[in-house]
Amino acid sequence: MEAKRWLEPFSTDVQADGTLTPERLTGEQRLSHLRAIYEAVPESMPDQVVYRVYSMPVPERASELQTCTTVLEPGTVGREYFMTKGHFHAVRDRSEVYLGLSGEGLLLLATEEGDHRVIEMSKGTVAYVPGGWAHRSANTGSDPLVFFAAYVGDAGHDYATVLERGFPILAVMGDDGPRIVENPRYRVSAA
């Protein structure tokens, strides 16, 4: 039988809370999985879900686009807002687009050389993440931060680099709202 040349077209409904219909859940990150990204997680904090990612099933190849939604809960660890692990794409030049669906937050971006940027995210924000920029989202609001993402199919995820070096900047709760501060735990690339 002749192999199918093209994927079957499909559609997915994104619900107001970021979940997908038909139902999908790819990853659930609890505080206990994320201890390393915060300065200190108090022992007294419950092991709650910080974020969930719902992904559409598409082969990981350069000819496709991966798409997913992220639902990042509101909260803080010390003064640091709840945030995603953050990653570079394993294939460094692969780009990505975020579309804010609800909530308020900050998209933090950084290159391996330590250059950094911040994009405010809310409903309707379209943020372009070029290749070469690590990206991490922080929820600075009191509701879940929900966004849609589309990225090149073979991008892959390099979490190790951000985990080892940290991120050059942090989103923290200031006395009168969110503030961006330098991350004292950041170690710039030796290259």
Binding mask 52-71 for ligand S6P (x = CB under 6 A): -x--------------x-x-
Nearer residue to ligand S6P within complex by CB, 3 or 91:
91
| Nearer Cβ to Zn ion (96/104) | 96
Q: How far is the CB of 117 from Zn ion (least distance, A)?
A: 15
Instruction: Spell out, one character per residue from 83 to 102, where the chain touches Zn ion: x when CB under 5 A holds, - when not.
Output: -------------x------
Q: Shortest Cβ distance from residue 160 to ligand S6P (Å)?
A: 12
Other C-beta atoms within 10 Å of 131: how many? 14
**Count of residues making up the chain:** 191
114 to 153, contacts with ligand S6P by CB under 6 A? 135, 137, 149, 151
Options 52, 85, 116, 165; binder of ligand S6P; rule CB under 6 A: 85
CA distance 145 to 137: 9
Instruction: Look at the alpha carbons of 71, 65, 112, 33 in this order and tell me if their dihedral is positive or negative.
Output: positive
Instruction: Report, in angstroms and rounded to the nearest whole number, the Rg of the chain calculated over CA atoms.
Output: 17
**Contact partner at residue 84 from ligand S6P, Zn ion, none, CB < 5 to 8 Å by partner kind:** ligand S6P
**Closer by beta carbon to ligand S6P, 84 or else 183:** 84
Residues 6 or more apart in contact with residue 103 via CB below 8 angstroms:
72, 74, 121, 122, 123, 139, 141, 143, 144, 145, 146
Which of the choices ligand S6P, Zn ion, none does residue 86 contact, using the CB cut-off of 5 to 8 A by kind?
Answer: ligand S6P
Bridge partners, residue 52, by sequence: 28, 71
Q: Please tell me whether residue 100 binds ligand S6P under the rule CB under 6 A.
A: no
- Find all residues with CB under 8 Å of 102, minimum gap 6, and list them: 16, 18, 123, 143, 144, 145, 146
Min dist. Cβ of residue 154 to Zn ion (A)? 12
Residues of this chain that bind ligand S6P (CB under 6 A): 53, 68, 70, 84-87, 96, 135, 137, 149, 151, 157
Residues of this chain that bind Zn ion (CB under 5 A): 96
